[in-house]
Amino acid sequence: MGMHPRGGPRRLSGKREKRSRPVRLLLGRMFGYLGPFKRVMAVGAVFAIIGTLVAVFEPLVLTMGIDVVFSAGGTFDALLLLVVLYIVLKITSWTLRSINTWILAGAQAGFVQRVQSDVYSHLVNADLSYHKSEQSGNVTSRVTTDTVSLTTGVQVMIDFASQILMLVSSLYLLWSASAQLALTSLVVVPGVAFIMILFGTVGQRIMLASQRAYGKVSGQIAEDLSGVHIAKSFNREDELAADMSELNQKAYHHGMKFMALMSLMQPLVRSIGQFAVAAVLFVGGSLAVGTLPALTIGEVFLGIILIGRFMWPLLGLVMGGTQIQASLAAMDRISDVIDAKRAIADLSNAEVLADESDGITFENITFSYVPDTPVLKAVDFTINPGEMVAVVGHTGAGKTTLAALINRFYDPQEGRILIGSHDLRKVTLESLHNAVSLIPQEPYLFDGSIMENIRYGRPEATDEEIHDLCRIIGANEFIEVLANGYDTLVLENGKNLSAGQRQMITIARTMLANPRILILDEATSRLDAYSEALVQDAQALLFADRTTVVIAHRLTTIADASRILVFDHGELIEEGSHEELLARGGVFKALYDTYYAHQGVEELTEEVAEVAREEVSRTTKEADSKEMQMFKHMLKTGDPTPELMKKMIERIPPETLRKMMSDSPDISPEMREKLRKRMQRQHHD
């Protein structure tokens, strides 16, 4: 994805992409990016054209020099003058071309930077819906590979005038020397056409296949290295190596085909050139001999030189056409990003969210990521200013979507969301995000030091403020023991830190921002009990009287909430305090008994345990428990250890075990007796 190790900057797709925009528009955009550099590039083009004109006269001087040598009336002074003139022309041509290269290199670098900055700016400001619908590698290639492809096309277009000038001038000089030589030079045209067809069809397919193969190798390497700890834990290193060897072998075969094509084309081009030289030499030599020669030896030599200067520009123009097509396709893909309309944007009359605006209201909110598949259905609730509300529910109930809507990463299809009295659609995104901060479930850290990552929440914060904050939440305990402390560099989203440490830094960053409204989406799910307690103590101090929405699975996280909102399949089905919802005996009661009851309670009553057992038994019957199937399989095919049997008996309700013992004829009498004794021993203990 976005990696092209062996070929030009082309997309790794199975078929050639067609442009969706007219050539005129794409060329206009390309030259639009060249706007600040037009004068510089025009100067460079002038130098290139002058250099080409100077180079045109070089073979003429050589021709005259040869004629002086072989002429009976030639003098040493005339020969010396021609030699000096040739050297001056050669140095002048080289100097002009060097200046042109230097000028264009700077202009191209600025061009690439301008395109990349514009595309990156559009990507950063694009809606989350755009990023979720695009592959990350595909998005990255718009900023990197496609912009490089643009420079190739621009270079070809800049060189176009010089190539045409060299082609026309060479043919004109040949015609001036001899019409027969000029016509003979056209012998290269069929050969060049053959190369164009070969490279444009077979060559392109081989090149793209080779690029795809090496792209798969690169992608597999990245995937294997990111999951190498899993491979090691299952002793699958040899299998990874074997899979990689197979991929490498396929890439090798494609690479060999590509290299074979290149090895064929280079001698073919040389052969065409040598054949053309031989043809010109034969025709010119025939005209230069005899009692009345039509050509001089110098003119024959001129024809031999000019045949190369005619063939190579012609070949360059043919190959340049493919590069221009690739650049136009790249500009088309870049235009997809630039032309993408933002679904979430400020209205022309958007207002700044007032400092006193607080509290959150959902009015009949219905939202779906995919049409006709609602994630939230007619949701209504109000969170008062300074209130802490917990949101609970099974996975997929719509909790994280709730957080995304409050941040206005998306807009609902129906209803409206208010902060204070302001409709989120009518306030500026900047003022909204200044007021609302989200601590996500998956912590994300940027490249840089720990200090820089925390300061990201408030760039003007001092080192002392950050140190004090980290001491309050206990983050200083692990930061200060690192080799470089707060200056420790974060590698690849924090791979040199534990999950809990990454989340602590994320929480510190949000606390430093001091938001008016705080949303915690499973924010403490990666912390151990001690770290979570430190963070909760800090929250009690730093976020007192602050509107807070807590999405969590841990009882310790939601116990202090003034209200709990219970979601199920996108609907708000229960609302109330912890005690009220337990007393109601509804969905939250079932969630509590099966999950929350085992967290942070000092005593597990028989009543609660019985309800939990009933709930587990019910879900076991409905889902045809995989654990039961696994346990049956172990009893049937092997002799499980006492420790494993103990664990399984503890996890499976007694009624289910007794039923399994009586209804499973596949279990041997010996194993059934072992299981009965194990159950009695655990019951006695």
Q: Are 123 and 337 in contact (CB under 8 A)?
A: yes
- The region of weakest confidence among 20-34, 74-88, 308-322, 392-406 is 308-322
Looking at residue 370, its pLDDT comes to 82
The one-character DSSP state at 351 is B
Pick from 162, 122, 125: which is nearest to 142 by CA?
122
Q: pLDDT of 146-176, one tens digit each?
A: 777 777 777 777 777 777 877 788 778 778 7
DSSP string, 110-168: HHHHHHHHHHHHHHHHS-HHHHHHS-HHHHHHHHTHHHHHHHHHHHHHHHHHHHHHHHH
Mean pLDDT for the stretch of residues 13-37:
68
- Using a 10 angstrom Cβ sphere, with 0-12 exposed, 13-18 middle and 19 or more buried, the burial of residue 260 is exposed
Q: How sure is the predictor about 624, in pLDDT bands with cuts at 50, 70 and 90?
A: very low
- The region of weakest confidence among 23-32, 88-97, 412-421 is 23-32
Looking at residue 13, its pLDDT comes to 35
Which amino acid type is present at position 680? Answer: Q
Looking at residue 467, its pLDDT comes to 92
According to DSSP, the β-strands at 571-576 and 563-568 are antiparallel
What percent of the chain is modeled with pLDDT above 70?
Answer: 69
Distance CA 372, CA 214 (A): 40
Chain position carrying tokens 């969301």: 417
Distance CA 552, CA 537 (A): 17
Mean pLDDT for the stretch of residues 483-512:
84
Looking at residue 269, its pLDDT comes to 72
Looking at residue 234, its pLDDT comes to 64
The residue with greater pLDDT, 420 or 522, is 420
- What are the backbone angles phi and psi of residue 597, rounded to the nearest 5°? -60, -25
Distance CA 685, CA 482 (A): 46
Residue 515: CB atoms within 10 Å: 21
**Which pair of structure tokens corresponds to residue 611?**
């309800």
- Checking if the pLDDT of 384 tops 80, the result is yes
Distance CA 217, CA 200 (A): 26
Q: pLDDT of 224-260, one tens digit each?
A: 766 676 677 667 778 778 887 887 888 788 778 777 7
Looking at residue 597, its pLDDT comes to 56
- Checking if the pLDDT of 651 tops 70, the result is no
The residue with greater pLDDT, 13 or 404, is 404
Q: pLDDT of 260-290, one tens digit each?
A: 777 777 677 777 777 777 877 787 777 777 6
Mean pLDDT for the stretch of residues 442-466:
88
- Checking if the pLDDT of 336 tops 50, the result is yes
Looking at residue 648, its pLDDT comes to 62
Average model confidence (pLDDT) across the chain? 75
Looking at residue 246, its pLDDT comes to 82
> In 3-state terms, what secondary structure has residue 192?
helix
Distance CA 342, CA 130 (A): 9
Looking at residue 601, its pLDDT comes to 40
Q: How sure is the predictor about 18, in pLDDT bands with cuts at 50, 70 and 90?
A: very low
Mean pLDDT for the stretch of residues 400-426:
90
Which amino acid type is present at position 428? Answer: T
The residue with greater pLDDT, 499 or 412, is 412
Pick from 84, 85, 146, 150: which is nearest to 111 by CA?
150
**Which pair of structure tokens corresponds to residue 10?**
């082309």
Q: How many helices (H) does the chain have, and how many strands (E)?
A: 27, 12
**Which pair of structure tokens corresponds to residue 290?**
């005899």
Do you know the residue count of the chain?
685
Looking at residue 609, its pLDDT comes to 44
Looking at residue 5, its pLDDT comes to 36
- The region of weakest confidence among 105-119, 399-413, 447-461 is 105-119
- Checking if the pLDDT of 451 tops 90, the result is yes
The one-character DSSP state at 1 is -
Chain position carrying tokens 């075969």: 253
**Which pair of structure tokens corresponds to residue 370?**
């995919």
The residue with greater pLDDT, 423 or 60, is 423
- Checking if the pLDDT of 91 tops 50, the result is yes
Mean pLDDT for the stretch of residues 666-683:
67
Distance CA 573, CA 629 (A): 34
Q: What angle do CA 344, 347, 349 make, to 5 degrees?
A: 160
- Checking if the pLDDT of 662 tops 80, the result is no
The residue with greater pLDDT, 560 or 415, is 415
Which amino acid type is present at position 479? Answer: I
**Which pair of structure tokens corresponds to residue 457?**
């929440």
The residue with greater pLDDT, 522 or 580, is 580
Sign of the Cα torsion 456, 458, 460, 463 reads negative
Which range is most confident: 282-291, 369-378, 630-639? 369-378
The residue with greater pLDDT, 202 or 648, is 202
Looking at residue 526, its pLDDT comes to 61
**Which pair of structure tokens corresponds to residue 590?**
């079932």
Q: How sure is the predictor about 530, in pLDDT bands with cuts at 50, 70 and 90?
A: low
Looking at residue 14, its pLDDT comes to 35
The residue with greater pLDDT, 584 or 499, is 584
Q: Are 25 and 81 in contact (CB under 8 A)?
A: no
The residue with greater pLDDT, 551 or 188, is 551
Q: How sure is the predictor about 4, in pLDDT bands with cuts at 50, 70 and 90?
A: very low
Chain position carrying tokens 């995989």: 626
Looking at residue 222, its pLDDT comes to 62
- The region of weakest confidence among 149-158, 411-420, 443-452 is 149-158
Q: pLDDT of 597-622, one tens digit each?
A: 555 444 434 444 454 445 445 444 44
